[in-house]
Structure 1
Amino acid sequence: MEAVMTGHVVTVNEVLDGHVALDIQCLDRVYLNAYVPKLQTSSQVVAFLSGHLGFPFPSPALFNQIGQRFRRAVASYAEANDIPWIKFGKDDDKLAVMRPHLARQAATGRSGVAAVGVAQEFQRVWAALEGTTSTGTPRWSFYKADRRVTCYYFYLWDDDFGPAFVKVCAYFPYPGKIWINGHEWAKRQASKAGIGFTELSNGFAACDQPQALQDICDRLGPGTINVFVQRWLARLPLPFGEADRDASYWWETSMRQVEVSRTIVFDAPRHARGFFEALIADNLDLGRPHNVEIIFGRRIRRDTLGTFRTAIDRRDNGGVLLNVFYRHSRIKQYLKDGRAMRIETVINTPRDLGCQARLHNLDDLQTKARACNRRILDAERVGQGCVLASPAFERIAHPTVDPAGGRTPALRFGDPRVMALTGALCHTLLAATGFTNKNLRVLIAGLLGSDYRPNQMTYDLRRLRLNGLIRRLPRSNRYMLTDDGIRIAIFYTKIYNRLLIPLTAADQPQAPPALRTALATVTRHVDDYATRARLPHAA
């Protein structure tokens, strides 16, 4: 934190072990897709129009009839309840526009719709092509297409969840979107439980019962969220009615975007910014000793689509934002309100973490996302405290023999293959579901810059396992780093990249002048001793 002003460099471990006032994990923003499962295929559309509604011909004109009825119902609902009607512009910040209306509704202390927003947006809806049968009778072929249609945003304030919205498209099959905030829910539950706390913007700055607050955050799951969703779907004007619902023509939800956060509040906010920026600078190169990326770490092949990189960005408030990208998802790390470190795993596609998208899989997804948040912090902690005791280093760096006579091969520091192996392991530090033989082999070959054969990878995996650096996941061909594995990988990589490589290049022009001068002095003295010993330079 104050390395510029003093000779002591404060590490992340010193701060986290002695200066943390609050450490809370909680769901943050949750976006859900709402869809009608029985209207996802063309045959289901025909069954709805003809079988359920009873029309002899499944004409797309019926879409317009239902849509117009829905539009009139929304307008009547807003007028009857004196709800503001807001038309969104193309570039409007919808939440900023709605914030005054949400505040007014919150002031009443009652759950209700604060305002109805209207927007024109592209949605995936059903379209139709007209044709004729062999007898000349009209028929239609249904297909899905992106169309610019009217969407209604019901911005509401809920007594349990606080601000939220339910969006419904005005065209068949009426897809929707739902937004809630887990921190806002937790605040209201804490207040109802009589737990005192101080708010952070979208979070908690202090709490007089931290464990009770964490227990509340842990309770927010798919059941609670689904109760909220169905309660509001039953209250709002919608294209489908009770008869449709009884016939199973009703919305279900899947996860569109889920943010799982960990907020670590420091007890000395004046040091927070300097500490955080130093933390980022010190850990930027972990996992990428010879390239410019940190790999997030799940089954990445040459044909894997998506983004795999780390970006450091400056925010509008002058702060620093670390983004670690993996496919469609990312981990964000930044300073919150100048006093807390916020780590957020943002999942835009649940399959990125090996989960299905239906809402009932939220608990599994949150568990894996919390593990990602823990991993990045563990890597940073180990990165600034990777001092190995002599016995531990000797156990890894020298071959050993167990009581049964089994030999464990060594991982000798400085060996190019070992350094590539440990560097590749650093790539997997944030792996949510481990790594495979093939995955690791591709990384090692890239770091070596030469051929690396499957039998070599098998041998290296064996010595990693025997040395206790990795463990195999049950009923799979995937591996995870152990705590010792994290320490060894980071220790080897940091010593090699930050100490040995700079020292071996100390006589180059880019090295600091003081270091070049000291090295020249040492070289001159060594040459003098060699001359007096009558040991000439090799030809």
Structure 2
Amino acid sequence: MGAHTVTVNEVLDGHVALDIQCLDRIYLNAYVPTLQTSAQVTAFLSGHLGYPFPSPALFNQIGQRFRRAVASFAEANDIPWVRFGRDDVGGKLELMRPHLDRQAATGRSGVAAIGVAQEFQRVWTAYERHTATGAVQWSFTKTDRRVSCYYFYVWDADFGPAFIKMCSYFPYPAKIWLNGHEWAKRQATRAGIGFAELSNGFAAAADPAALQEICDRLNPGTIDVFVQRWLARLPLPLTATDRNAGYWWETSMRQIEISRTLVCDAPRHARGFFEALIADNLDLGRPHNVEIIFGRLIRRDTKGTFRTAIDRRDNGGVVVNVFYKHSRIKQYLKDGRAMRIETVINAPRDLGCNARLCHLPELQSKARAANRRILDAERVGQGCVLASPAFERIAHPTVDAEGRRTPALRFGDPRVMALTGALCQTLLAATGFTNKNLRVLIAGLLGSDYRPSQMTYDLRRLRLAGLIRRLPHSNRYTLTDDGIRIAVFYTKVYNRLLVPLTAADQRQAPPELRDALRILDRHVDNYIDHARLAPAA
């Protein structure tokens, strides 16, 4: 008896001990909205600061004052300095980990260390020109320049480890990084909810519903309180007078990770989950355009990356990545016992959201839907076995109560197999598919001409069979639950059973299978001889 093949549905339906959705890493841009145009720069230097003409020398004066303030702040509070090199890119947090741990041991919020790096930033540059009368005028334009940046690594009583990076050159753009799971852990502790930690997540919880409610509470207001609290404590290039005049930082979303963690009750079930995912969900229903997962329409002129890729980590782990424009979904096995699904949004407009922090709830809702849809597709991919009545209804002609005849979709018919294969490529199509979209896919699978009239006929029999439905007020269609099951069932049986078995006597087939077929052939030949049946002439 061969070993039983674990399926995704078996793991999800009986072995998931904890299912938690939470904001994970949060990376924000901080910018001064009233310093984003050349006219605003001129107004700040002349109107606000009161200088007779806007000279770029003022940029250096403000920058030098800021650098001195940072040095004084570090000396007064005995804060260590760390100078980052080029080789520290991507590893700054680990380099700062001892300092953060030391600050966390005190139990108080504080700056653990200050890092200094030379980095390219988008800043204002001035160009001198002379008027007809010989007077000097300055024009301002944004450009990328290598300037000093200060990383304030902080340990916060609410958010745990975080950092604020401040550019030392005008208009002083900043970056802010924090972690939603760390915030949720501290809130759960304060609420008296017992839990076990996963690396950057939760492995178990005494009250999963209450823990999920805490995760859902992390909102723009909570994050903005963190930002403004630390801006008030750190040395900054802008002063309180500047803030009162409207020159202060606002935040927008640079990179947001929205995660779903499914913790299995035993590590072997988690491994079985991921092995089943790798084995059974990469070749079926993989779209040419991954609009199907993100629920966004992709046109021919849409720019971006649309592909699926598998990355292998140094520790032997595997990460499945689905790319969409600037963003992606990644799935991987976490700590050997949990499936982590993360939608990583690098540009909120990829999902039709604006970038300001106040739009985070909308972005999180769409990202959670993407996490859910990809898991639903994986469920369907391994849960497509049909009951006999359902198969009979589709595979044979039927007549409804109104006398309308529904043509059969016979398994094995080349056109039907191309049709169901094309439907698999629209498996998660939140925006649906059109006659034209589907016809191109079918023609490619058939390898021959496929006329518009044939597509219209096939759409009709799919609709009458209850496999697709038309979206209201549009010419787009979407698969029903039966349509998903039929498309996956037909395609899986054909590709994974019939094709390999019909080639079982070929050299590329496994030796065991070829030996078994030879035995069957010999027994069939013996039965023919005993029946005294001569071969056909």
Regarding TM over 0.5, the answer is yes
Cα distance between partner residues in 2 of 1:37 and 1:367:
27
Cα distance between partner residues in 1 of 2:526 and 2:2:
37
Contact 2:290 2:324 in 1 (8 A): yes
Indicate which of 16, 31, 36 corresponds to 2:32.
36
Contact 1:371 1:432 in 2 (8 A): no
Residues 94 and 132 of structure 1, relative CA distance in 2, 3 Å threshold: same
User: Where do 1:356-375 residues align within 5 Å?
Assistant: 356-375=354-373
For residue 12 of structure 1, what is the aligned residue in structure 2?
A: 8
Cα distance between partner residues in 2 of 1:519 and 1:200:
50
Q: Does structure 1 residue 63 correspond to structure 2 residue 75?
A: no
Read off the aligned partner of 1:495 and give its amino acid letter. V
Q: Does structure 1 residue 196 correspond to structure 2 residue 211?
A: no
For residue 414 of structure 1, what is the aligned residue in structure 2?
A: 412
Cα distance between partner residues in 1 of 2:473 and 2:250:
32
Contact 2:7 2:272 in 1 (8 A): no
Read off the aligned partner of 2:75 and give its amino acid letter. E
Deviates more, 1:231-240 or 1:416-425: 416-425
User: Where do 1:18-167 residues align within 5 Å?
Assistant: 18-92=14-88, 93-167=91-165
Cα distance between partner residues in 2 of 1:423 and 1:372:
23
For residue 210 of structure 2, what is the aligned residue in structure 1?
A: 212
For residue 177 of structure 2, what is the aligned residue in structure 1?
A: 179
Indicate which of 320, 326, 329 corresponds to 1:328.
326
Residue 25 (structure 1) shift: 0.9
Read off the aligned partner of 2:253 and give its amino acid letter. M
**C-alpha distance after superposition, 1:231-279 (max 9, x if no partner):** 2222222222223223322222221111111111111114433542243
Cα distance between partner residues in 1 of 2:147 and 2:474:
46
Cα distance between partner residues in 1 of 2:263 and 2:422:
33
**C-alpha distance after superposition, 1:175-219 (max 9, x if no partner):** 111111111011011001000001011011111101111111111
Cα distance between partner residues in 2 of 1:459 and 1:45:
64
For residue 276 of structure 1, what is the aligned residue in structure 2?
A: 274
Cα distance between partner residues in 2 of 1:214 and 1:379:
24
Residue 324 (structure 1) shift: 1.8
Contact 1:84 1:114 in 2 (8 A): yes
TM-score by length of 2: 0.89
Read off the aligned partner of 1:43 and give its amino acid letter. A
Cα distance between partner residues in 1 of 2:241 and 2:438:
55
Cα distance between partner residues in 1 of 2:150 and 2:140:
24
Cα distance between partner residues in 1 of 2:105 and 2:164:
20
- Number of aligned pairs? 530
Contact 1:353 1:433 in 2 (8 A): no
Cα distance between partner residues in 1 of 2:389 and 2:397:
13
Residues 169 and 382 of structure 1, relative CA distance in 2, 3 Å threshold: same
Residue 516 (structure 1) shift: 3.8
Residue 32 (structure 1) shift: 1.0
Cα distance between partner residues in 1 of 2:263 and 2:42:
56
For residue 497 of structure 1, what is the aligned residue in structure 2?
A: 495
Residue 441 (structure 1) shift: 4.7
SS in 2 for 1:235: coil
Structure 2 residues without counterparts, runs of 5 or longer: none
**C-alpha distance after superposition, 1:149-196 (max 9, x if no partner):** 111111111111111111111111111111111110110110010000
Deviates more, 1:334-343 or 1:424-433: 424-433
Residue 460 (structure 1) shift: 4.9
Identical-residue share of aligned pairs (%): 80
TM-score by length of 1: 0.89
Deviates more, 1:451-460 or 1:43-52: 451-460
Q: CA RMSD in A?
A: 2.9
Indicate which of 426, 434, 437 corresponds to 2:424.
426
**C-alpha distance after superposition, 1:54-74 (max 9, x if no partner):** 223222222222222221222
**C-alpha distance after superposition, 1:343-373 (max 9, x if no partner):** 1111112222222222222112212211222
Contact 1:130 1:141 in 2 (8 A): yes
Cα distance between partner residues in 2 of 1:58 and 1:29:
40
Contact 1:301 1:439 in 2 (8 A): no
**C-alpha distance after superposition, 1:460-482 (max 9, x if no partner):** 55554554444556676665444
Cα distance between partner residues in 2 of 1:16 and 1:232:
42
Structure 1 residues without counterparts, runs of 5 or longer: none
Residue 336 (structure 1) shift: 0.9
Contact 1:22 1:265 in 2 (8 A): yes
**C-alpha distance after superposition, 1:289-322 (max 9, x if no partner):** xx9x684534334443332222223222222221
Cα distance between partner residues in 2 of 1:476 and 1:360:
32
Deviates more, 1:135-144 or 1:483-492: 483-492
For residue 504 of structure 2, what is the aligned residue in structure 1?
A: 506
Residue 134 (structure 1) shift: 1.8
Cα distance between partner residues in 1 of 2:396 and 2:35:
64
Q: Does structure 1 residue 353 correspond to structure 2 residue 361?
A: no
Contact 2:263 2:270 in 1 (8 A): no
Cα distance between partner residues in 1 of 2:476 and 2:133:
60
Cα distance between partner residues in 2 of 1:167 and 1:338:
34
Contact 1:372 1:431 in 2 (8 A): no
Residues 389 and 365 of structure 1, relative CA distance in 2, 3 Å threshold: same
Residues 37 and 521 of structure 1, relative CA distance in 2, 3 Å threshold: same
Residues 522 and 357 of structure 1, relative CA distance in 2, 3 Å threshold: same
Read off the aligned partner of 2:227 and give its amino acid letter. V
